[in-house]
Amino acid sequence: MATATQAPTSPAAASGRGSVLPLLRGRPSTRVRLAVGRRPQTALRAQPPGAAEVVEQSVNTIRFLAVDSVEKAKSGHPGLPMGCAPLGHVLFDEFLRFNPKNPYWFDRDRFILSAGHGCMLQYALLHLAGYDSVTMDDLKAFRQWGSITPGHPENFETPGVEVTTGPLGQGFANAVGLALAEKHLAARFNKPDLKIVDHHTYVILGDGCQMEGVSNEASSLAGHWGLGKLIAFYDDNHISIDGSTGISFTEDALARYEALGWHTIWVKNGNTGYDDIRAAIKEAKAVKDKPTLIKVTTTIGYGSPNKANTYSVHGSALGTKEVEATKNNLSWHHEPFHVPDEVKRHWSHHIDEGASLEAEWNKKIVEYEKKYRQEAAELKSIISGELPSGWDNSLPKYTPENPADATRNLSQQCLNALAKAIPGFLGGSADLATSNMTLLKMFGDFQKDTPEERNIRFGVREHAMGAISNGIALHSPGLIPYCATFFVFTDYMRAAIRLSALCGSRVIFVMTHDSIGLGEDGPTHQPVEQLFSLRAMPNILMLRPADGNETSGAYKIAVLNRQRPSVLALSRQKLQQLKGTSVEGVAKGGYIISDNSSGNKPDIILIGTGSELEIVEKAADELRKDGKTVRVVSLVCWELFEEQSEKYKESVFPSEVTSRISVEAGVTFGWEKYIGEKGKAIGVDRFGSSAPAGKIYKELGLTVENVIATAKSL
């Protein structure tokens, strides 16, 4: 255990295509490049003579880049960067393996700032390390419109930032996903003579992250899985927005993490105990069978004479007078945004070192390709995101002669087909695999001693499941995770789903028991508002397939959409295989499945999704017997439909046809967009009930008879 005396209140003064594996450079979703380097033999980078003075200069540079940026923006959180600057310096400068000129080098160590409000710490470190993504001008544009230094780290804005963080605890859970991905890929692809997947995941979390329940869910899983290359730093500064954490958070965090299966270390002097920080990281890296939590006791706003160790330095600028007082206290006699020449020279070594690491690993990968061609081809798919040729042909196809089945069962057929065809396809359920129908039958369980397997057992931890899946998806472009639970429990994981949409992670959320059709379990388990609430979320696909072909189509879309997640709402009850549905139709979001009209002028348009499409089609058949021309539209995904041309949308919903009815086992809110002022929406604008599904549908008017009666009333 690394310990030290209590800190004083103030300080002492090339991209190539010849290889099977492409090189990874630029955003993973666009330009793809690979690179990795040999791990140094020693855990620490060599410290030259006079290094102590340079370290002190460097730490203060980090502090004041943060202070000056927040001051210029008149907005931000200077306290964490000021307190964590020593930790940030030691980790980035002495331990972290990265190439600043290639932020997407595959075997880089991953760093996540879960306490994302302190992002100026990360921006300052990226700047000093030589990342082109964070220039001095970018630091000066902190929190401004169009800058790549936003108020919380965003992976889609700033190369060098691995995941989007901000909501506390989420980044920590993402880190668990990143560490899971490393352990899984290492188990699958490393050979006794060639270790090509070999990196650590580091994360800084604060008191707020510790308080959020998602972090405990994720910590429990990380301990269970034995993620030995996950190292978490707990910034123990005892301050939250409302004041001292003593008013609400007094637990023994180290004891809790030990109980969860973690190795724990306490660095008691995180302010000036550089050797203690080094020793703690070295000790953590030596632990191979469990993750490590390093509690680093720091002083928030360290160096500020009047605001250090108070909540006032947490989320607002110091102010002109306090900035000057802090500079005097830390003997920092420089203009704003100053980086001393000796600090620049010291940090410049990362550029050559990163290039060397990359070049050495590229040599290893060439050797790997020669010896292990099949494995190399699979790894290429995972690293590059390039899908194997013909992967979509693996998805099952159906005809009306196929038996009726629940879309959750049809989903399992798709999942197993995709797992065979796509090397990076993996996932699991929140203790509901046999009910969600999500088991990959040809693989075992990802566990501490079998990390090469692809069934992930998340247990009853929906929130962490979503966040961990985001981390997996953001580890490598070709990793495609799915996670599953009952649709109503998206409420437990909404924050993770929202971040998935925000940061563009390709997670497939498999949500079964999608309506009142689940029956007897009652209203607590019957989703009614979830469909529309997820449709309201930007950059996400909400798909509700009606049968086998639409389920296959939904999975094809989910795999192809690299920059947004997909939610599949799937039925518990059996549904018929309908005649007019198709994989191609799903890609358009909404399409005509039957129509006996001509000239694009039906008497009435009936619209359905999921299990109600069958009801709509039966009602249409009856109306046609009465001489009506009826068009039936499957609106399986509103978002995809809205992306179609105006001409196409008019071909499906001609503006002249105002007699329209929507039928969906969910709230009717929002359907006015498609049925217009004269249309009718049949839905469920109340909570459900505990009864057999057929009885509930009848009582709530989701019947063929009610659709026919409503149509005749228009």
Looking at the predicted structure, is the pLDDT value of residue 397 above 60?
Answer: yes
**305 and 422 both lie in a single domain:** no
The label of the residue with tokens 């990196």 reads: 199
**349 and 416 both lie in a single domain:** no
- Please report whether residue 107 resides in a domain: yes
Looking at the predicted structure, is the pLDDT value of residue 202 above 60?
Answer: yes
Q: Say if residues 711 and 619 touch (Cβ distance below 8 Å).
A: yes
- Rounded-to-integer distance, Cα 552 and Cα 402, Å: 14
**424 and 544 both lie in a single domain:** yes
- Please report whether residue 80 resides in a domain: yes
Looking at the predicted structure, is the pLDDT value of residue 24 above 80?
Answer: no
Q: Say if residues 69 and 339 touch (Cβ distance below 8 Å).
A: no
Domain of residue 418, residue span: 391-569
**481 and 423 both lie in a single domain:** yes
Looking at the predicted structure, is the pLDDT value of residue 143 above 60?
Answer: yes
Looking at the predicted structure, is the pLDDT value of residue 48 above 90?
Answer: no
- Rounded-to-integer distance, Cα 339 and Cα 348, Å: 12
CATH number at residue 677: 3.40.50.920
pLDDT at position 51: 81
Instruction: Give this prediction's pTM.
Output: 0.93
**401 and 331 both lie in a single domain:** no
Q: Which parts are annotated binding residues?
A: 77, 117, 166-168, 207-208, 237, 239, 314, 408, 435, 489, 513, 521, 525, 572
The neighbouring-strand residues paired with 235 are: 206, 296
Looking at the predicted structure, is the pLDDT value of residue 15 above 80?
Answer: no
Of 375, 462, 614, 664, which one is the catalytic site residue? 462
pLDDT in tens, 75-116: 999 999 999 999 999 999 999 999 999 999 999 999 999 999
> To the nearest whole percent, how much of the chain has pLDDT over 90?
93
Total of domains in the chain: 3
Looking at the predicted structure, is the pLDDT value of residue 356 above 90?
Answer: yes
- Please report whether residue 386 resides in a domain: no
- Side-by-side strand order, sheet with 630-634: 591-595, 630-634, 604-608, 660-663, 680-682
- Rounded-to-integer distance, Cα 437 and Cα 411, Å: 7
**595 and 691 both lie in a single domain:** yes
pLDDT in tens, 549-607: 999 999 999 999 999 999 999 999 999 999 999 999 999 999 999 999 999 999 999 99
**406 and 315 both lie in a single domain:** no
Q: Which of 610, 598, 591 is nearest to 542 (CA)?
A: 610
- Please report whether residue 274 resides in a domain: yes
Domain boundary among 535, 569, 603: 569
258 is catalytic: no
CATH number at residue 211: 3.40.50.970
> To the nearest whole percent, how much of the chain has pLDDT over 70?
93
Q: Which parts are annotated binding residues for substrate?
A: 77, 314, 408, 435, 513, 521, 525, 572
pLDDT in tens, 375-395: 999 999 999 999 999 999 999
Looking at the predicted structure, is the pLDDT value of residue 657 above 80?
Answer: yes
pLDDT at position 50: 63
**525 and 649 both lie in a single domain:** no
pLDDT at position 269: 98
The residues, ordered by sequence, that sit 6+ positions from 690 with a Cβ below 8 Å of its Cβ are 519, 520, 521, 522, 523
Looking at the predicted structure, is the pLDDT value of residue 196 above 80?
Answer: yes
Q: Say if residues 99 and 105 touch (Cβ distance below 8 Å).
A: yes
Looking at the predicted structure, is the pLDDT value of residue 6 above 70?
Answer: no
Q: Which parts are annotated binding residues for Mg(2+)?
A: 207, 237, 239
- Rounded-to-integer distance, Cα 579 and Cα 443, Å: 34
DSSP letter at 543?
A: E
Q: What region, left, alpha or beta, does residue 222 occupy, with left being phi > 0 and alpha being psi -120 to 50 degrees?
A: alpha
- Please report whether residue 35 resides in a domain: no
Work out the pLDDT band at 182, boundaries 50, 70, 90.
very high
**119 and 244 both lie in a single domain:** yes
**413 and 555 both lie in a single domain:** yes
pLDDT in tens, 441-484: 999 999 999 999 999 999 999 999 999 999 999 999 999 999 99
**By three-state DSSP, how is residue 223 classified?**
helix
**535 and 665 both lie in a single domain:** no
**245 and 275 both lie in a single domain:** yes
Domain boundary among 507, 538, 569: 569
Looking at the predicted structure, is the pLDDT value of residue 666 above 80?
Answer: yes
**By three-state DSSP, how is residue 204 classified?**
strand
**Distances in whole angstroms, Cα of residue 175 to Cα of each of 112, 113, 204:** 7, 9, 10
Q: Which parts are annotated binding residues for thiamine diphosphate?
A: 117, 166-168, 208, 237, 314, 489
Looking at the predicted structure, is the pLDDT value of residue 20 above 50?
Answer: no
Which pairs from 238-245 meet CB under 8 Å and 24+ separation? 238/207, 238/300, 238/309, 239/79, 239/207, 239/300, 239/309, 239/310, 239/311, 239/314, 240/207, 240/208, 240/311, 240/314, 241/311, 241/314, 241/315, 242/311, 243/311, 244/311, 245/207
pLDDT at position 49: 52
pLDDT at position 29: 37
- Please report whether residue 202 resides in a domain: yes
- Mean pLDDT across the chain, nearest whole number? 93
